[in-house]
Structure 1
């Protein structure tokens, strides 16, 4: 670079717009998008470790896509090439690839190719990139405002991680403004600027989540406002309103926002919410959507979602569409709103969807012959008997008679399911009555013979028990618990998750699979388990490996607070079982959550577990001894000194509400009763009636109230009744979700 080039570059940087000058240079300066670059997230770890794979940043303007690419350029050891798809073509791509090949060959250096507005490349240009991304010559970073799944080559998308950036929230935009006002080198830190709170609120509101828009408006306000006699630049609400007067609506008639908005509109009308329907209608009209497109969708909805519940709906919407054509805009907004309100408040029925069930049956079933009595009798009535046996409905009372109209193999199939809404409620009664009469006639042999029903045989329970016994059965049951817990957790791909009780990794590995752009931490108090998990994790790529920790659960809060790490979800199975103060522990863990984070647990509830006395017949012992056994066993589950068995979900929720000040609406609980077929072996009975090692055994509890002779009698009864017998084992799992 010559002296003149350097001076020219300095001049450009000094005279650049405020939004360009204030562009963050490091991750610490970056504002917003915590869901992809917050502490613990995959992308942040990848940038810091300089271990990037191909990426595509997708989001609205002003959310930081290009800025993230610049930050990567400032931190990576790789050679960085930036091009803009609006200005560049295949020649620029080839030049960049040539440089990348040279860097790789001569210096073993990676090359990152940043393509801004990548969706602007045509198919040929995108195809030209593919082989070099495929063989690792370049690491692609693309930025686009359009949905990459529609606008970017599918082969490129499949080889890239997609990160969606969202509009900045109010707190983020406020921070952007403060950063610009305080920075003395790139912003207005050297000026005496006083900005009213109302002015800030207006700038944030109208900027609509766009950091560039709010900075442009702030720059216009500052540069066009002269200082007063005290040298102070006063930005009032009036000045702010002059600087940014109209909200920029992100609306592309062929892009995601177009389809998402019309989807919200249709779903609001279908859901009979006239307020929401009018709001989304206003959003579309304000953004310049074609009213004819909206009316066309309403005309479809009049049949699809209202149908026979209000047969006049199609007539009214068609009339509104005709009225719009006559009056045009802006008065045409009246019939547009009328059509919307009519459908939003009309009774709903989607019974016309029965046609598509019939269509699916036609596609799925073999081609069936038209029943003989329904065939055309004019052509070969005498030769083949076509039309013979047809019953003419008008010859019967109420102009209807029961007879077969469907092909024989579809007889009894119902495609039309009339709703009980509006006018269709009357149709429902009529159709139901006629179907019952028709079925009765067929059963009686008065119509065409009823076709044979498909065969059915009950499952052999004994065979099923043997097939699912041992570890395979246990694995299946644990898998069900895991899946139910993750369903309740509602993980998103970018979440950072902490497994509170990793153990064998039942939840850890599933979490790794579900949060590929987030991160997983797994904690176990057992060093042996931690070592085993670490060994398993070594088989995974470094960036997606879970972080394995061997810590006591009571130390988790201090450890992660010191590390300044917060989580979107804390998950665990049987975490609370042995903890004496469960509420205090949950209070600590709540502080580890990000806003809108949640703790999701699956806990075996001993108080609801199988009672052993219920497995034997009461008459297998004397009446008094059996009653004493019942009382002794029930006492186990009311022992106030045993934290493992002396609690239930209801008590926990109540205590949390009192001690942790958690609203009951923040807690969701489900208790799932389960019945499992297991075989009682002599080894199990031996374990029940032997002294316990780590915890008191069944015998240890009974011996406190029963004599040695009575225990011997009870054991003999268990041995006689249960050895090698299959029993139904009742238990309960409590699923708990606590939202911050």
Structure 2
């Protein structure tokens, strides 16, 4: 059996008894107008609108690549396109499918088109997990329009999708769902007949907690809402309260306002705990930020800053680790990003600490602000133009690679700053080596050895 998202039997069952399906399924958009968020893609005359036959002009590419974080509706968009165009919908995941499965779907699409005149939408999730050879197997179907391919990826398609497929595709970048988007979706789910039909209301505190739990994921928001609604109705209550949500999802509300003081207080406490090498306190504040629905990219940015501000050359691998964590977080999103943030937080908290790099640039900038600068020494100036030699520019410059040790005894700083020291390394961690090296280098520059 082809892995359709909705079999005909499931759709028929849902039509006869909508309550038999999960709330997230019942609230699945039926048209582009019902899609939550993605306003930039849903404007009149947009390529996505033309793909489903709305407006004037050709639809353009018959292949679409949807790029964005998890849980923002890539599968939903693909399903809406198939419904709007009345095409068969077949779903494959690049995690479990291979070339054999792809070819089977393509053969089925050709038979359906030739025998029944029914075209096929092939939704391929996580296409970045396909190898080049596997992606190549899609090209004939795309070029001959045997299927309308809609591929989803959480990774940059310019790095993860082969050029021939990318050039034949319409690339749509999806944006994370906002709290406003999810709040509107929950309102519809509470009031619409296919949802909860007004059986219960939704209190403000409960709504705020559901938004935190959701973390920008519409399915997660609706699943938690449905569980909370069931709990309220079982107790004979007409409104979903914060307590009901907590009981339903087994998660206590975190008192945390992402736009208020606690946003900055908890972030500050996280960084200061890392600076103080208290790994357990750092993990506590990280957990508070995660549970409050903080943007994981904001947390990752703070960790990158900490790596340079508080660790520096005491552990030269701290910054690459923090940068790698930030890249991973941007690609995978929550909930898995919590593991990456924990990994980075623990490593930074336990790393040796040095603020020498921070102090060095602060002191250098302070001198510049105070006007302590002066002209660039003549022998360091650009000599790659006619007349430079007459001005004395680049004359007398000693090329360091031409002398033993590759350190030439010559002046680099302006006269006003000659001999001034900014970098004062510590003796902590790997920076102890830099402390030894910098003294030797400064001596060579002065001609002492």
**TM-score of the superposition, structure 2-length normalised?**
0.57
Q: Residue 236 of structure 1: which of 235, 241, 244 is its match?
A: 241
Q: Residues of 1 paired with 2:31 and 2:79: CA distance?
A: 9
User: Structure 2: any 5+ residue segments left out of the alignment?
Assistant: 1-6, 254-266, 275-281, 291-295, 320-342, 366-383, 385-394, 403-409, 425-437
Partners of 2:304 and 2:118 in 1: CA distance: 54
Write the distance in 1 (CA, Å) between the matches of 2:248 and 2:143: 47
> Is the 8 Å Cα contact of residues 194 and 232 (structure 1) preserved in structure 2?
no
- 43 and 346 in structure 1: CA distance in 2 versus 1, 3 angstrom threshold: farther
Q: CA deviation at 1:37?
A: 1.3
CA distance in 1, matches of 2:109, 2:8: 25
| Residue matched to 2:216 | 209
Give the Cα–Cα distance (whole angstroms) in 2 for the partners of residues 69 and 415 of structure 1. 64
User: Cα RMSD between the aligned structures?
Assistant: 5.2
SS state of the match for residue 65, structure 2? Answer: strand
Task: Give runs of aligned pairs for residues 19-418 of structure 1, distance below 5 A.
Answer: 19-49=24-54, 51=59, 53=61, 54-103=63-112, 105=114, 110-184=119-193, 186-189=194-197, 191=199, 193-228=200-235, 231-244=236-249, 245=251, 278=271, 314=313, 316-317=314-315, 334=349, 336=351, 339=353, 343-344=357-358, 346-347=360-361, 405-406=398-399
The structure-2 alpha-carbon separation of the partners of 1:216 and 1:341, relative to structure 1 and needing over 3 Å to count, comes to farther
Check the 8 A contact 1:298/1:340 in 2, yes or no: no
| 3-state SS of 2:76 partner | helix
Partners of 1:127 and 1:210 lie apart in 2 by 32
- CA distance 1:19–1:332, shift in 2 (3 Å): same
CA deviation after TM superposition for structure 1 residue 204, in Å? 1.4
Whole-angstrom distance in 2 between the partners of 1:320 and 1:108: 59
Q: Which has the higher strand share?
A: 1
Gaps of 5+ in 1: 248-273, 307-311, 322-327, 351-364, 366-401, 436-740
1:103–1:110 contact (8 Å) kept in structure 2? yes
Question: Cα 1:335–1:103, aligned 2, differ >3 Å: closer, same or farther?
Answer: closer
Alignment of 1:698-713 (within 5 A): none
Partner of 1:640 in structure 2?
none
Q: Which position in structure 1 is the counterpart of 2:13?
A: 10
Quick one: distance in 1 between partners of 2:117 and 2:411?
66
Over 3 Å counting, the alpha-carbon distance change for 1:346 and 1:182 in structure 2 is: farther
Q: Residues 22 and 343 (structure 1 numbering): CA distance in 2 closer, same or farther, change over 3 Å? A: farther
Q: CA deviation at 1:223?
A: 1.8
The 2-side partners of 1:201 and 1:150 are apart by 37
Structure 2 equivalent of residue 701 of structure 1: none
Task: Return the alpha-carbon distance in structure 2 between the equivalents of residues 101 and 319 of structure 1.
Answer: 53
Cα displacement (A) at 1:176: 0.8
Go from structure 1 to structure 2 and tell me whether the alpha carbon gap of 1:116 and 1:404 turns closer, same or farther (over 3 Å shift): closer
Q: Which residue of structure 2 aligns with residue 602 of structure 1?
A: none
Task: Measure, in 2, the Cα distance between the counterparts of 1:64 and 1:33.
Answer: 9
SS in 1 for 2:152: strand
Label 1:109 to 1:416 Cα distance change in 2 as closer, same or farther (>3 A).
Answer: farther
* Paired residues for 1:541-620 under 5 Å: none
Q: Check conservation: 2:142, 2:149, Cα contact below 8 A.
A: yes
Q: CA deviation at 1:162?
A: 1.7
State the distance in 2 between where 1:279 and 1:97 align. Answer: 56
The alpha carbon displacement at 1:125 in A equals 2.2
Q: Is the 8 A contact 1:298 1:339 kept in 2?
A: no
- Alpha-carbon distance in structure 1 between the residues aligned to 2:317 and 2:134: 48
1:18·1:219 contact (CA, 8 Å) conserved in 2? yes
Alpha carbons of structure 1 residues 343 and 175: separation in structure 2 relative to 1, 3 Å: farther
Q: Is contact 2:205-2:241 (8 Å) kept?
A: yes
For 2:317 and 2:52, how far apart are their aligned partners in 1? 59
Distance 1:132 1:121 in 2: 16
Within-5 A mapping of 1:424-435:
424=422
Cα distance change, pair 89–240 in 1 and its aligned pair in 2 (3 A): same
Kindly provide the CA deviation profile for residues 412-444 of structure 1, in whole angstroms up to 9, marking residues without a partner as x.
xx99778979824999xxx9xx99xxxxxxxxx
Paired residue secondary structure (1:55)? strand
User: Aligned partners of 2:76 and 2:273: how far apart in 1?
Assistant: 32
User: What is the SS of the residue equivalent to 1:189?
Assistant: coil
- Closer, same or farther: CA 168–422 of 1 in aligned 2, 3 Å: farther
2: CA distance, partners of 1:276 / 1:161: 44
Change beyond 3 A, Cα 1:208–1:17: same
The answer (yes or no) to whether the contact 1:202–1:237 under 8 Å persists in 2 is yes
Counterpart contact for 1:298–1:317, Cα < 8 Å:
no
User: Do the aligned partners of residues 226 and 416 (structure 1) sit closer, same or farther apart at CA in structure 2, a change above 3 Å counting?
Assistant: farther
Distance (whole Å) between structure 1 residues aligned to residue 18 and residue 100 of structure 2? 28
Contact between 2:228 and 2:240, CA under 8 Å: does it hold in 1? yes
Q: Is contact 2:88–2:118 with CA below 8 Å preserved after alignment?
A: yes
Once residues 416 and 424 of structure 1 are traced to their aligned partners in structure 2, the CA distance between those partners, rounded to angstroms, is 14
Offset, 1:64: 1.1
